Protein backbone atom coordinates (compact mmCIF):
# COMPACT_ATOMS: atom_id res chain seq x y z
CA UNK A 1 0.00 0.00 0.00
CA UNK A 2 2.96 2.32 0.50
CA UNK A 3 3.69 2.05 -3.21
CA UNK A 4 0.09 2.95 -4.03
CA UNK A 5 0.06 5.93 -1.69
CA UNK A 6 3.29 7.23 -3.19
CA UNK A 7 1.79 6.78 -6.70
CA UNK A 8 4.41 4.24 -7.79
CA UNK A 9 1.69 1.70 -8.64
CA UNK A 10 -1.90 2.12 -9.79
CA UNK A 11 -5.24 0.65 -8.68
CA UNK A 12 -5.08 -2.12 -11.27
CA UNK A 13 -1.71 -3.29 -9.95
CA UNK A 14 -2.99 -3.27 -6.35
CA UNK A 15 -6.07 -5.29 -7.35
CA UNK A 16 -3.91 -7.81 -9.22
CA UNK A 17 -1.60 -8.28 -6.23
CA UNK A 18 -4.51 -8.66 -3.82
CA UNK A 19 -6.21 -11.16 -6.14
CA UNK A 20 -3.12 -13.39 -6.01
CA UNK A 21 -2.60 -12.86 -2.28
CA UNK A 22 -6.23 -13.70 -1.41
CA UNK A 23 -6.55 -16.52 -3.95
CA UNK A 24 -8.76 -19.26 -2.53
CA UNK A 25 -10.36 -16.90 0.00
CA UNK A 26 -13.36 -15.32 -1.74
CA UNK A 27 -14.60 -13.72 1.47
CA UNK A 28 -11.37 -11.70 1.72
CA UNK A 29 -11.65 -10.63 -1.92
CA UNK A 30 -15.25 -9.62 -1.33
CA UNK A 31 -14.20 -7.51 1.65
CA UNK A 32 -11.41 -5.86 -0.32
CA UNK A 33 -13.77 -5.10 -3.21
CA UNK A 34 -15.64 -2.79 -0.85
CA UNK A 35 -12.70 -0.36 -1.06
CA UNK A 36 -12.25 -0.54 -4.85
CA UNK A 37 -14.06 1.50 -7.49
CA UNK A 38 -16.61 -0.67 -9.32
CA UNK A 39 -14.54 -0.73 -12.49
CA UNK A 40 -11.58 -2.26 -10.60
CA UNK A 41 -13.39 -4.80 -8.43
CA UNK A 42 -12.11 -8.34 -8.50
CA UNK A 43 -14.69 -10.83 -9.80
CA UNK A 44 -15.56 -13.68 -7.47
CA UNK A 45 -16.46 -16.83 -9.31
CA UNK A 46 -19.02 -19.29 -7.98
CA UNK A 47 -16.50 -22.13 -8.32
CA UNK A 48 -14.15 -20.40 -5.85
CA UNK A 49 -16.93 -19.96 -3.30
CA UNK A 50 -18.09 -23.57 -3.62
CA UNK A 51 -14.53 -24.85 -3.21
CA UNK A 52 -13.98 -22.60 -0.21
CA UNK A 53 -17.16 -23.80 1.52
CA UNK A 54 -16.25 -27.43 0.84
CA UNK A 55 -12.86 -26.87 2.49
CA UNK A 56 -14.55 -25.48 5.60
CA UNK A 57 -16.76 -28.53 5.96
CA UNK A 58 -13.84 -30.99 5.80
In order, the DSSP letters of 4-58 are HHTTSS-HHHHHHHHHHHTTT-HHHHHHHHTTS-GGGPPP--HHHHHHHHHHHH-
In three-state secondary structure terms, 3 is: helix
Rg of the Cα trace of the chain?
13
**Domain locations in the chain as residue ranges:** 2-57
In the predicted structure, residue 2 carries a pLDDT above the cut 60: yes
Burial of 5-20, coded b for 16+ CB within 10 Å and e otherwise, reads: eeeeeeeeebbeebee
The per-residue pLDDT for range 9-58, each reduced to its tens digit, is 898 898 899 999 999 899 999 999 998 889 989 998 765 445 555 556 65
Model pTM above 0.95? no
Determine the pLDDT at residue 52.
56
Determine the pLDDT at residue 4.
82
Amino acid sequence: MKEFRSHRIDTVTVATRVKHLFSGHPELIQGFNFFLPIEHQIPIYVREEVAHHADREN
